[in-house]
Amino acid sequence: MSRPDLNLLFTLDVLLAEGSVAGAARRLRLSPSAMSRALARLRDTTGDPLLVRAGRGLVPSPRAMELRERVARIVEDAQDVLRPAKRLDPKKLARTFTLRTSEGFAETFGPALIARLAQKAPSARLRFLPKADKDSASLREGSVDLETGVVGKSMGPELRAQALFRDRFIGAARPGHALAKGKLTTARYAGERHIGVSRRGDDKGPIDAALEALGLQRKLATTVGGFATALALARASDLVATIPERHTAGLREGLYSFALPFAVPEITVSLFWHPRMQADPAHRWLRGLVLETCRPDS
């Protein structure tokens, strides 16, 4: 079956609005004969006369009367789709945005982000979802607008990414911990009992690789799935947690935090989204708001 000529929808809309071939011809800047040929094509396509002669004029058929409002809406929607996007007014933005982040990110940057949103777009709302894994299916499916994390091999190749900030690993322990007294050396750090952090339950990560390069190995007492849990355990025990500094600023309040006495590569925390949202004005505005909130001087 051949596809209908969608340009006929615009012609039909004008014909039904004018109720006259001559009037439609003037609006579309066509000759009366060209307009008559267009009406003939419409009649052939729809299988209906559409406009029927009554005396000197034309009156719409029942089918034409049924189609009039429907066609007008379709044409209006089509014209709206093909227009450039309207300039966004955040004050009029009424939309719920879903962010998939770690607990640390939500705790550290969430309050400032929510406050900025309330000030600039009071009718918009944020929904934070936990990030239990690095699967990007929720971005592809559209159930999540934005996601934060470190670029990894499991990230979908089609996703867009924007670096938010660089972070370094530091140590954290309860107040009064043995590491808080005297000079902190790599050997003293490695000699303590530690909390490993891995969503997949791995026993080794970048901290262990850095220690092994120095001929040392830390003692893992337990492994947990997130930094928030690691800090909660460190707060209630003599275990040492090693976590990203900025990412966990809010979670570490009241704990003893210290710079590591050995070099560990920094990580870059990024913002991810699906390319279909790239040009969406509201989505673009939200990305800018997140970037602004995560700036070191914000």
Written as tens digits, the pLDDT of the chain (298 aa) is 567 788 888 899 998 888 888 888 898 899 989 989 999 999 998 999 988 888 878 888 999 888 888 888 888 888 777 766 668 899 999 999 999 998 888 888 999 999 999 999 999 999 999 887 777 778 888 889 999 988 876 666 778 999 999 999 999 999 999 999 999 999 999 999 999 998 777 778 899 999 999 999 999 999 998 888 999 999 999 999 999 999 888 889 999 999 999 999 999 999 999 988 888 899 999 999 999 999 877 5
Residue 161: CB atoms within 10 A of its CB come to 14
Distance CA 241, CA 247 (A): 14
**At 20, which helix (H) or strand (E)?**
none
Residue boundaries of the structural domains of the chain:
7-82, 95-164+274-294, 169-265
**Domain 95-164+274-294: which CATH number of 3.40.190.10, 3.50.50.60, 3.30.390.30, 1.20.58.2050:** 3.40.190.10
Distance CA 29, CA 115 (A): 54
- Are the C-beta atoms of 27 and 14 separated by less than 8 Å? yes
Q: What are phi and psi of 39, to 5 degrees?
A: -65, -40
- Are the C-beta atoms of 99 and 126 separated by less than 8 Å? yes
In CATH, what class is 169-265? Answer: alpha beta
Distance CA 175, CA 198 (A): 25
pTM: 0.67
CATH number of 7-82: 1.10.10.10
Domains 7-82 and 169-265 share a fold: no
**At 120, which helix (H) or strand (E)?**
helix 103-120
Which 8-state DSSP code applies to residue 205? -
Distance CA 212, CA 218 (A): 9
